[in-house]
Chains A and B, each alone.
Chain A
Amino acid sequence: MAGGLKKFVVGSFDDEAVLFPAVKNVRKAGYKIHDVYTPFPVHGLDHALGIRETSLHTAGFIYAITGTTTALTFISWVFTKDWPLNIGGKPHFALPAWIPITFELTVLFSAVGMVLTFCYLCNLAPFVKKHHFHPRATDDLFVMAIECSDKTDDAEVQNFLQNAGAKEINVQVAETGWWIGRYDREQKLYRHEPGY
């Protein structure tokens, strides 16, 4: 939950064509990019940032086969063991007739499981609040946050971003995790300080 307070140099770009070389140069110069916030999915940006492929679809597959197994085992148990019904002498294990429900449960488990996993991984839920580096990151700006260590020279990074084509540059000290909060109020993450 709590990522801790960190210092960032934040540069906002207004064109993805400028952003890509900037990302490349910033990484080459050895700065650590915390994240890039974009108003829409910019294809290839994840590769440019060196983010690994997501495994969400694998999770989806696992949920799907869980659904298939649940449906098949449950219906087989009901119709062959718990309450076998004699329907005109037809076999109790009537697999073709169970395919529709098995399919539906496969899809249901997979979809619900994937969405919940997605929300869990991205820390998304109602009343979750996070620090936003720029309000226009969801409108028209591509916002790059560079994480600073003790040794980083802010001015140098700012200069670097300026040369890379950033339109707006500033330094922010921000909470990297999420906390419970509302967007109509200023609320910070409650921190339990050791010693108190």
Chain B
Amino acid sequence: MSLLKYESQQREPLVDGDKTYHQVTEDIIGPIEMKPTRLWYIGFFISIGLLLFGVYSIYREVTYGVGQWNLNKTIGWGWDITNFVWWVGIGHAGTLISAILLLFRQGWRTGVNRAAEAMTIFAVMCAGQFPIWHMGRVWMAFFVLPYPNTRGPLWVNFNSPLLWDVFAISTYFTVSLLFWYSGLLPDFATVRDRAKTKLRKLLYGVAAFGWTGSTKHWQRHESLSLVLAGLSTPLVLSVHTIVSFDFATSVIPGWHTTIFPPYFVAGAIFSGFAMVQTLLIVVRKVMNLQDYITMGHIEAMNKVIVLTGSIVGCAYLTELFIGAYYSQNMYEAYAFQQNRANILSPYGWSYWLMMFCNVVSPQLFWSRKLRRNITVTFFMSIIVNIGMWYERFVIIVTSIYRDFLPSSWSTYYSPSIYEIGFYLGTFGLFFTCFFLFAKYFPVIALAEIKSILKTSGENYKAKMTDIERSDAEKFYIEKVEHAH
């Protein structure tokens, strides 16, 4: 007992079933060592198909120009930037789980952090596509970097939020990747040391970087994880803050607001957790990981969803109050009263759809019974993702489709097939990566699960009852009785 950190019996176990360290390894590495199932192949090839359609859409866009999309004079940012912000937002949950919950010492993160971080990396990869291809002449994309050139040198504008975005997204991607991979090293070593085939020994041997599990290395690894978590925490907040600056620093009614940074960050975490739920509910079922991603994990994430959903709802109402009334500015008022809240206006439906999906529906999760219901959670996660897509659509399209010059008010904007294709293509990219990850990577952080097993594993907790009772008696005799 002396070694084990005491954890109250009141807390739900984080690992169910009668597990030993070796059993944990078997459960998590086992699926990697088996041949992919039929279902995996079907899913993988559907993803590849979507990806190819996306590649074709991008080919059209690059060859014929941005005119392949239905963007017009007033709507310069349509689906493209909506998708960008949506994907970046989704990424935020991974960092929240791996970094912020690490700093808060939340044990339940160990079951879900690896997959959530993978989701972050893939989501940021998808997000990055949109601004890059939106440039039109994509072969000039390197112009966004401050490199010495023969035009002066003419530098990029460091005062521009769009450049801040370049730095924020690339830093976010790099740091997330480093964080994720450094956590993967010990687990790759486990796969390597169990490997039976030559190919697996070679590949996982290369991937594990020669990890041995030396105590000194673990000590440095812990220090590294902690500092990277400490760095990622303000980083993740900064990323969506900077994305929101793309809008907030402009003078467009509907965008020009100081509430955006916290509102965007809360929304990002909200949508990200919804995506984690969508993925993990499927993964735990298909890969038989119900013992590691338990009902308790799902409930914990649903609590985050109802919290962030309510923050987002609060932000919507504040924004509506400020824009539609308190600003006393006719343009702001028009943007909110007519372009958004008026359900009969061309895009009014999208505003109310967003309100329903993001603010009303997650309130169901105040009920413990619904929080612990897999089907409800799965549908809710999809609804929230749709709602959060519409949030970005509402912010972008309803703010710009009627600009300051009524004669240029655009007709109804609807995306072209290649705009939709590009979006579907990023789904293809995301799921292709995720399928490969789920098959060839340890989807649960093995070493971290092992480190909490003896405090939070079901079988170990059960054994603690007697110790707990005797310790309580001892404590009472030693401390309480003598106090009087």
A residues near B (Cβ < 8 Å) are: 16-17, 20, 35-43, 45-46, 49, 51, 53-54, 56-57, 60, 64, 74-75, 78-79, 82-83, 85, 87, 94, 97-98, 100-101, 103-105, 107-108, 110-112, 114-115, 118-119, 121-130, 132, 135-140, 143, 178, 182-184
Contact = CB atoms under 8 A, between A and B. Distances in A.
A195 B154 CA distance: 60
Contacts of B201: 182-184
B215 A35 contact: yes
Contacts, number: 209
B20 interface: yes
B365 interface: no
Interface string B440-477: 00000011101100000000000000000000000000
Interface in B309-354: none
B150 interface: no
B221 interface: yes
B125 interface: no
Summarize B's interface: helix, strand, loop or mixed.
Answer: helix
Nearest to A47: B219
Contacts of A118: 182, 220-221, 224
A56 B228 contact: no
Interface string B143-164: 0001000001111011101011
Contacts of A104: 164, 167-168, 171, 235, 238
A45 B221 contact: no
Given A101-B167, A111-B178, A140-B25, A132 B3 contact: no
B146 A78 contact: yes
Given A94-B159, A184-B198, A139 B193 contact: yes
Interface in B1-41: 2-4, 20-22, 25
Contact of B447 (A39, A79, A110): A39
Contact of A140 (B2, B21, B158): B21
Contacts of B448: 40
A100 B202 contact: no
Which 4 pairs between the two chains have the least Cβ-Cβ distance?
A183-B205, A128-B210, A140-B21, A124-B209
14 contacts: A40-B446, A41-B218, A54-B216, A54-B223, A78-B146, A97-B158, A100-B245, A104-B164, A107-B235, A111-B174, A118-B220, A126-B209, A182-B202, A184-B199
Given A107-B231, A119-B209, A125-B209, A46 B215 contact: yes
